[in-house]
Amino acid sequence: MNQVQLHSKPQKSKTHINGVENLIRQMLKKQRAPFMIIRRCVLERQYRRFRKCLPEVTPYYAIKANPHPSIVKTFVKLGANFDVASAAEMKQVIRLGASPGKVIFANTIKTEADIITARRRRVRLMTFDNEPELYKIAKQYPKAHVLVRIKVANEGSVIELSLKFGADPEHAFFLLKKAKALGLKPMGVSFHVGSQSTNVENYLQAIEISAGIFKEAKKSGMPLKILDIGGGFPIQHFDNEIGINFERMASQIRHQMKALFDRNVKFMAEPGRFLVGPAGILVTQVIGRTFRNNKNYYYLNEGIYGAFSGMVFDHCKYEFKTLRRGQKFLSALAGPTCDSFDTLAMNEEVPELYVGDVVYVKNIGAYSTASATMGFNGFPPAKIVMV
């Protein structure tokens, strides 16, 4: 199959930009920067967008992207399911209203204590990718429902997840048979093409490989019922970014699933960034400035150890915007800590800024505050404010 070129949507209108900046100005009257605005309407829009483009696929929100209680509650109200990776995440989503039947324990390596918690909380569906894990599950949670996670191509993804997880596809059927022999219920196959994946071919190949496993299982009298296509669905981080078109990607994925699977197979996915990323706007302010290395150098009150942590852990790049207008100059942006590593950009084009001026970033709702260090150097991460 040939890789399909995916094109970006048109540039955001000035009306949209003014709307975002008006919101920031309103929030600054009530909140001290830094803070993260999470727009509930965007969470709802992204959820409905996913359901519209992939109607056969049940989305399980991967709360690691952003576990803020108000975000989880919003998705509970929308009827979403949830992907958790630990007992703590499991307890959180259930406490906030999620039904245990709408939760998947999607970590292929689990502690025995967490498996026991899953049993006690009646979270039956979970993933695995190796034989020793099956023995743990069988011992602590007899009759649990399991999906074998396979290793698939992650080409073109910002974060490659098959380096750490996934059984070789040729071993998948053996592992499913082993699960059945141990008294577990083999339900199907899962995969993950990597995070922020712009290469639709990864999905198409993984679906084809999974279909082969389903056929092998059916021939052996062990029909499977669930295909979990994971997460990794991309979003735009820059207004003029090229290569992101979820609608076109979803159409190809949907076509592949229909072509290769029976109607009785249930499909699920684990979107995180796609659902919550576009909802976030990080608002920071300049707390200091100097001129060094022949450029303006601005210090912000949020940095790498806070809500910009995604620049390290998620390899994410952001578009820095300002409320101030005027001629732009090559500048550097840095965070507030006493660590030179806490540098955000060395060659950013921004207007001349002064202490108190606002620098903001859109599309930063995922893998930002969630992975921030709590209080390094005495600076707490940005507060999340739902609107």
- Phi/psi at 35 (5° precision): -150, 155
Which residues are within 8 A (CB) of 246 and not within 5 positions of it... i.e. 6 or more apart? Answer: 49, 53, 233, 234, 235, 274
What is the DSSP-derived secondary structure letter of residue 288? Answer: E
Task: Please give the helix or strand (H or E) that residue 82 lies within, else none.
Answer: strand 81-84
- Phi/psi at 314 (5° precision): -115, 0
Contacts of 121-125 spanning 24+ positions with Cβ under 8 A: 121/90, 121/91, 121/94, 123/84, 123/90, 123/94, 124/100, 125/187, 125/226
Question: HSE (CB half, 13 Å, CA atoms) of 287?
Answer: 14
- Phi/psi at 177 (5° precision): -65, -40
Residue in 41, 53, 316, 338 annotated catalytic: 338
Question: HSE (CB half, 13 Å, CA atoms) of 248?
Answer: 15
- Phi/psi at 113 (5° precision): -60, -40
3-state secondary structure of 178: helix
3-state secondary structure of 197: strand
- Phi/psi at 225 (5° precision): -120, -20
Which of 188, 48, 246 is closest to 254 using CA atoms? 246
In 29-86, alpha helices (H): 40-53, 69-77
**Cα dihedral: 150, 155, 160, 163 (round 10):** 50
- Whether the CB-CB separation of 121 and 99 falls below 8 Å is answered with no
Decide if 338 is catalytic: yes
Cis ω for the linkage preceding 34 (within 30 of 0): yes
Contacts of 164-169 spanning 24+ positions with Cβ under 8 A: 165/108, 165/129, 165/192, 166/108, 166/129, 166/191, 166/192, 167/129, 167/130, 169/209, 169/212, 169/213
Known catalytic residues are: 338
